[in-house]
Chains A and B, each alone.
Chain A
């Protein structure tokens, strides 16, 4: 990300640190007080933040508004669900060139999910990047919807009913069924991904990516093809979001087409905008706020969505640059 001037950067850093510590503190605090459900809730925030982080790479830095990121999220989820399904039912997933019965090992599942996400992003990205602006938004939506309808009507893995994973997948050396251990694992992944994105953003690649958002014509004129830069970012983004999908499947022990729906794509966008587009920690801030509000308001009234809407509206109108922009000030990057 562009280096801010003077004290701005530090203020943003303070906000970021507070967010990170807030998440970890909340999770551990809930665990200490034996509020297992709140640990689960914190885990959900962290996972959605990973998905959002994937989107943020293309949206916040590359300026590509993908309205179809649920596709990668859901594909990651299904990768996890299908591998576990076969492993748990002892049925072969394929028999050629060797018999493969799936797996419940998270590292293997993660790699598979990321590969699937990256591949899908490569194909979809290559086709979608021919368009720009709103057309890009809509063509990504179109591909997302195609995968969604495919999942609904393909009976092998449950169709609309979805696919349960009866036991959470395992990670060597950890008991993933223990909510706090799973939470810890997810946090490690989250901060690793945020670190990765921050590094990418500062690199040569990141500079070109951010220039592609602002002025593609200029990027061409200095000898860099925006298409390639954006496609690479899109693929990395798809992989990260798919990884989040795999974790989400494990959190819920269930995958269904709703992970692929445009509502989810929309929610990921909302997290980012709420957090502050182009800010490294936007996905965490946005997902955290969103889930917290949803949870708190849900208890207050059956019509909580009404008040939730009002609150969101208040944030857009009065806290420019999202939560982080509001707290940290400074220029927004996107």
Chain B
């Protein structure tokens, strides 16, 4: 089997006495959706932040295509191809949808110190942006400032921005939260197609989506990975049922 795109080894991070992640190892292989589930406060977002470089781990390392990312900051990791969405929508509120996505495309292009040409007339960036907006299901809302979007629409904008980075992999922190059944279904279909472009590490509490989409599922409890397996294996795991799934399994 090919080497994993993303390889996480022994990541630990404590906040005071609390071990938010505790010696977590997992990997993300080409073409897969790897779901990360676990109770609230298990450390999923903390793990994503360590992968994306927003917070530094106390121990352990992250490798992207075999290359260690130690010392690379969040912006550097984004340039290396990590696209992430935030659990709480994080966009530029005064920018329009289009400007937000163009910003993302510009980031991917790596050239932000250009002082002369108007960016909103850059055909290349605009093309990418319109594409991604359409894929995320936001067509027609390009000119609306992000602050005026309804909650669910802002979630979609996050997805569009991640797409525009043309990433090597996606780190999605609860992308479906707040989206509504219809939106979640559409997003599921989108992710389903996306995995072949770039693998996805998906944190989600929407179990329908998780079991429908993922190739593998890891379960994080109190900062530790307690199980990894196929959706069916996880669904059947009594421990996972007890601490996380409840009667839903």
A residues whose Cβ falls under 8 Å from a Cβ of B: 2-3, 5, 199-200, 202-208, 210-211, 214-215, 217-225, 228-229, 232, 331, 333-334
Beyond A222-B78, A224-B75, whether A204 also contacts B114 by CB under 8 A is yes
With CB as the reference atom, state the residue of chain B lying closest to A208. Answer: B112
Whole-angstrom CA separation of A3 from B121 in the bound complex? 11
Beyond A202-B120, A221-B78, A223-B75, whether A214 also contacts B114 by CB under 8 A is no
Residues of B within 8 A of A223 (CB): 75-76, 78-79, 107-108, 110, 165
Whole-angstrom CA separation of A199 from B121 in the bound complex? 13
**Min CB gap A239→B, angstroms:** 13
* Contact partner, A210, options B74, B79, B92, Cβ 8 Å: B92
- Determine if A215 and B120 form an interchain contact, defined as CB atoms under 8 angstroms apart: no
- Determine if A333 and B110 form an interchain contact, defined as CB atoms under 8 angstroms apart: no
Main secondary structure of the interface of A (DSSP, over half): helix
A-B residue pairs, 8 tightest by C-beta: A222-B107, A223-B78, A223-B107, A214-B92, A223-B79, A202-B118, A220-B74, A204-B114
Residues of A within 8 A of B122 (CB): 204
**Min CB gap A250→B, angstroms:** 28
**B126 at the A interface (CB under 8 A):** no
Beyond A207-B102, A229-B112, whether A220 also contacts B93 by CB under 8 A is no
**B15 at the A interface (CB under 8 A):** no
Whole-angstrom CA separation of A220 from B76 in the bound complex? 8
Q: List 11 A-B contacts (CB under 8 A).
A: A204-B117, A206-B119, A207-B112, A218-B86, A220-B75, A221-B74, A221-B90, A223-B75, A224-B106, A224-B107, A232-B113
- Determine if A2 and B107 form an interchain contact, defined as CB atoms under 8 angstroms apart: no
Q: How many Cβ-Cβ contacts under 8 Å join chain A to chain B? A: 111
Whole-angstrom CA separation of A36 from B78 in the bound complex? 58
Whole-angstrom CA separation of A224 from B42 in the bound complex? 30
* Contact partner, A203, options B76, B78, B115, Cβ 8 Å: B115
Whole-angstrom CA separation of A228 from B198 in the bound complex? 29
Whole-angstrom CA separation of A199 from B145 in the bound complex? 22
- Determine if A224 and B92 form an interchain contact, defined as CB atoms under 8 angstroms apart: no
Residues of B within 8 A of A225 (CB): 73, 75
Count chain B CB atoms within 10 A of each CB in A5, A220, A333 and give the residue with the most. Answer: A220
Residues of B within 8 A of A205 (CB): 112-115
Whole-angstrom CA separation of A218 from B76 in the bound complex? 13
- Total B residues in contact with A, Cβ cutoff 8 Å: 41
Residues of B within 8 A of A219 (CB): 75, 103, 107
**B24 at the A interface (CB under 8 A):** no
With CB as the reference atom, state the residue of chain A lying closest to B171. Answer: A221
* Contact partner, B115, options A199, A224, A331, Cβ 8 Å: A199
Whole-angstrom CA separation of A232 from B115 in the bound complex? 11
Contact flags (1/0) for B103-141 with A, using CB distance below 8 Å? 110111011111111111010000000000000000000
With CB as the reference atom, state the residue of chain B lying closest to A6. Answer: B143
* Contact partner, B94, options A2, A199, A202, Cβ 8 Å: A2
**B45 at the A interface (CB under 8 A):** no
Residues of A within 8 A of B145 (CB): 331
Known: A210-B92, A222-B165. 18 other contacts (CB 8 A): A2-B94, A2-B96, A199-B116, A199-B118, A204-B119, A210-B95, A211-B103, A215-B91, A217-B86, A218-B91, A220-B73, A222-B103, A222-B104, A222-B108, A223-B76, A224-B107, A225-B73, A334-B94
